[in-house]
Amino acid sequence: MKCNPLVCFANVYDCQPSIDSFNDLPCDKLRLDYFEYPNQFLEAQKFFLEHKEYTHFVYLAPDLVISKSQFNELKKLCEAWDYDVYGPVANVDLGKYKNKLNCCIKLPTIKWEFRNYRWIQEEARQYFMNAGIMHHNVKFNGLTFCFIKRHILEKYKFSTLPVETDEKPLWETRGGWACDLAFCHYCNYANIDIIVNLKIKLKHLRFIGANQVGKKEPKITFLKYDGNQKHGIKNSSEGEIQSSS
């Protein structure tokens, strides 16, 4: 399947390594600056659904770093394997969990008091790769630069759960469920496989810099990739989107 992704970057911390890696990606991109959670997901999904030329939605977290070569390899493999949800792995953080990956074989529960993220160990990743296993099916992925097919987001809305629950989301209560966990529960409910590429590992800086949400005005910037050319376009709901030279 031909892959024409829209990469959506939620800038929260003005983390320069993440911004630089985003700017370097050879594809159309949407930058969402300083939106309160989960509005960056909702705005990005709205834009994606309105622009049907894109086959895959890709979310770049504000503290994640990806190289151009990693992106090109992922796009190539995405076309070759044609998975519904496909992405790399990343470290959980740079401290206590630096040797654990931001994905789990078992799906964590929505209920906070029973929720347990059993992160895949780096040594397990090395074991699988040494055995020639590059892809692995997981039940949870922290939306680590996942290529998500259009048909999924035409049915699923970010920030929602597939079933009714009394549990509140993260933006309403401490310990609530976040968009990545909700999305993975939807995939599990809809029997959609989440596949990670164990070979391609991104660097997760984990909250580098001060949170700028509420301090700076939110804005959306669309970057059209055309070789070295970037152009701004208009979005009816946001007015004119800022363009980057």
Please write the tens of the pLDDT for every residue from 115-152.
999 999 999 999 999 999 999 999 999 999 999 999 99
Q: What local confidence, expressed as pLDDT, does residue 214 receive?
A: 97
Q: What local confidence, expressed as pLDDT, does residue 243 receive?
A: 42
Burial category of 201 from C-beta neighbours within 10 Å (exposed 0-12, middle 13-18, buried 19 and up): middle
3.90.550.40, 3.30.450.20, 3.90.25.10, 3.30.70.890: which CATH number matches 5-240?
3.90.550.40
Asked if 188 contacts 139 with a C-beta cutoff of 8 angstroms, the reply is yes
Say how far apart CA 217 and CA 194 lie, in whole Å: 35
Q: Which residues touch 98 (CB under 8 Å, ≥6 apart)?
A: 91, 92
Say how far apart CA 216 and CA 221 lie, in whole Å: 15
Confidence band, pLDDT 50/70/90 cuts, at residue 228: low
Q: Which helix (H) or strand (E) holds 80?
A: helix 68-81
Q: Which helix (H) or strand (E) holds 200?
A: strand 194-204
Asked if 88 contacts 121 with a C-beta cutoff of 8 angstroms, the reply is no
Say how far apart CA 81 and CA 138 lie, in whole Å: 16
Asked if 91 contacts 97 with a C-beta cutoff of 8 angstroms, the reply is yes
Say how far apart CA 219 and CA 12 lie, in whole Å: 11
Q: What local confidence, expressed as pLDDT, does residue 209 receive?
A: 86
Asked if 192 contacts 84 with a C-beta cutoff of 8 angstroms, the reply is yes
Question: For the chain, what is the radius of gyration of the CA atoms?
Answer: 17
Confidence band, pLDDT 50/70/90 cuts, at residue 235: very low
Could you please report the per-residue DSSP string of 85-146? Answer: EEEEEEBS-SSTTTTEEEEESSPPPSSGGG----EEEHHHHHHHHHTT--EEEESEE---S-
Averaged over 63-91, what is the pLDDT? 97
* Position with higher pLDDT, 175 vs 119: 119
Whether 237 shows a pLDDT value over 50: the answer reads: no
Averaged over 57-73, what is the pLDDT? 98
Whether 230 shows a pLDDT value over 60: the answer reads: no
Confidence band, pLDDT 50/70/90 cuts, at residue 73: very high
Q: What local confidence, expressed as pLDDT, does residue 229 receive?
A: 47
Q: What local confidence, expressed as pLDDT, does residue 241 receive?
A: 57
* Position with higher pLDDT, 241 vs 137: 137
Q: How far apart are the first and last CA of the chain?
A: 32
Whether 242 shows a pLDDT value over 90: the answer reads: no
> Could you tell me the residue ranges of all domains in the chain?
5-240
Whether 240 shows a pLDDT value over 80: the answer reads: no
Instruction: Select from 185, 85, 98 the least CA-distant residue to 135.
Output: 85
Per-residue pLDDT tens for 10-39? 999 999 999 999 999 999 999 999 999 999
Please report, to the nearest 10 degrees, the dihedral formed by the alpha carbons of residues 177, 178, 181, 187 taken in order: 110
Averaged over 214-234, what is the pLDDT? 79
Q: What local confidence, expressed as pLDDT, does residue 63 receive?
A: 97
